[in-house]
Amino acid sequence: MIKLVEEEMKGEKIKTAFDLFCGVGTFTIPISKHAEKVYGVEINPYAVQDANHNRKINKAGNTFFKRASSSEALSYMVRKNPEVVIVDPPRTGLDIKTVSTLGEIKGLRKIIYISCNPSTLARDISILREKGFELKHTGIIDMFPTLTILRVLQYLKS
């Protein structure tokens, strides 16, 4: 999944990128080699602490982490005017304030949306399309292959 996100960033001149719901910097740090500055936003203080540690060991000096909810960081994000925003929200998807704000960022050219809930993804894509964004492509990744194999084995066993 990290490679797919990196592929979306390659070849573009990106001054600023944001990663909302960044956790420990799983996407933030790898994409830092494709942008001048990358800002990760995460509400969990322990994840932010780990993200800063990961930043140091990966020598990602152009990466910055902010402890905040995505909605708390919106005005900060608008001021930074990113060209790319990555979102990896919880199953509830994006809140309406976040979706609306994404539509207000003047320099935003691309949103990379990672989701584990097809229904909230569909809802958010619909709102983003109303805001003028166009869905370019999608993909499916089996995030829990062990569970899938176990389910198949259980099914075959009975």
What residues are labeled active site? 116
Q: Please provide the DSSP assignment of 38-78 as one string.
A: EEEEES-HHHHHHHHHHHHHTT-TTEEEEES-TTTTHHHHH
Any bridge partners for residue 129, and if so which?
none
51 closest CA partner among 32, 5, 42: 42
Q: How far from each other are the two terminal CA atoms of the chain, in whole angstroms?
A: 33
